[in-house]
Amino acid sequence: MNKNDIKPSEATHFPELALNLITREEHNISRKQISDNALKVLYRLNSAGFDAFLVGGGVRDLLLGHTPKDFDIATNATPEQIKKLFRNCRLIGRRFRLAHIMFGRDIIEVATFRGHHQENTQHIAQQSKEGMLLRDNVYGSIDEDAERRDFTINAMYYNIANYAIHDYAGGVEDLEDKLIRLIGDPETRYREDPVRMLRAIRFAVKLDFDIEEETADPIEHLAHLLKDIPSARLYEESLKMLQTGLGLETYHLMREYQLFQPLFPTISEFFTADYSSKTEQMLDLVLDATDQRIEEGKRINPAFMFAAMLWYPMLAKADELMATRNFAYYDAVMEAGNLIIDEQVKTIAIPRRHTATIREIWQLQLRLPRRNGKRAFRLMELNKFRAGFDFLEMRGEIEGEETKQLAKWWETFQNAGRNMRQAMVADIDGANPKPKPRRRRNTKKKANSAS
């Protein structure tokens, strides 16, 4: 039977995993490396008679000697039982119910062990005809939970009761071999949740691992399934992929596996075999700059990244509007901006606060060349001036000539004293003198004299 013919009911088979128990003496994880808040949750669950495990990326990162970003917990307590134990608990999620234990800004996520959703249960699971899980509130044992996890390196559990690690899928071995490997049949698992393809790429780049051959093989021909993922979820995933410090490398690997294209169809229209288009040059430039800012601990704004990524597709649309609908340049850019953003948010739901900033950055590209009179001084007072200028500099690196000269002028103007600024503007005014107003003929006086 062809894998493409797998029915939802048949796509729910999970492999039988063999437990490898790693005692405290055999691993390097210490409770000193676990956050105090995570330990509080683990101990309280354990004291109440429930199983409590640190799980997933937290265990993986600790074994690798890294500092985990999050400390997630798995337990046999139901969300309702968890809520009774913790006053600072909030239940979230429809696809799968989760408990968030809040300690100020620090949130510890607690999940109930997941079971096999094809079994009869009072909790409801639901799949699409493509095999994608739409709802997954089915609870089970730790063994079943391990089978339901995506990658072997995320199926390791640190037991707070005896400090042992439960490794169900050979995760420790894959950590040593630096491999990203899916648990179960890769095509089935990707169809259940196509975002797993993005996660495979993200973990491979983040950990500097290779994607195991069978895990990698189906990705390219299943990449189109990402079109069925809600655009709000893909927005969050796009930030994880491109704005966590390894965006440039992640983008190139996404392109290799045809995963960037369904997320950014408008941009991918301008892809070339040799990565030579202005759109591709800008992608490399803005993602590299974003990575550098993150490394330096500077703030980043998703709107700036999206503004840069969509700029040349927007200009191409503006050229089309001028050619086909006789738009003036300014009007064409404004309308093209609306059309390109409207198209992009269909796949990635960029929030309105960011789309407004994107438009401001684009509009500044039209205003920055106009520096005569008091305009240059007024432009510098605008809230988004710095973002507009930074983008102008990037454009200068790609376009050269007039754009690069304009960016240099603005760089000098910002760093100059008031007298020099006035002189620079005077030079602009001198090079572009205002036309003298035409004198109005006094027709009334002539009419009187004629009478």
Which residues are designated catalytic?
70, 72, 150
Indicate the DSSP class of residue 440: P
The rounded Cα 376 to chain-centroid distance in angstroms is: 35
Q: How far is CA 413 from CA 370, 377, 383, 393, 394, in A?
A: 13, 9, 17, 14, 18
Q: Please state, in angstroms and rounded to a whole number, the distance separating the CA atoms of residues 361 and 391.
A: 8
Q: Please state, in angstroms and rounded to a whole number, the distance separating the CA atoms of residues 30 and 34.
A: 7
Q: Are 387 and 357 in contact, with CB atoms under 8 Å apart?
A: yes
Q: Can you give the C-alpha Rg of the chain in angstroms?
A: 29
Q: Please state, in angstroms and rounded to a whole number, the distance separating the CA atoms of residues 242 and 235.
A: 11
Q: Please, where are the H alpha helices in 133-246?
A: 142-148, 171-177, 186-192, 195-207, 213-216, 219-222, 231-242
* Nearest Cα to Cα of residue 268 among 312, 222, 319, 321: 312
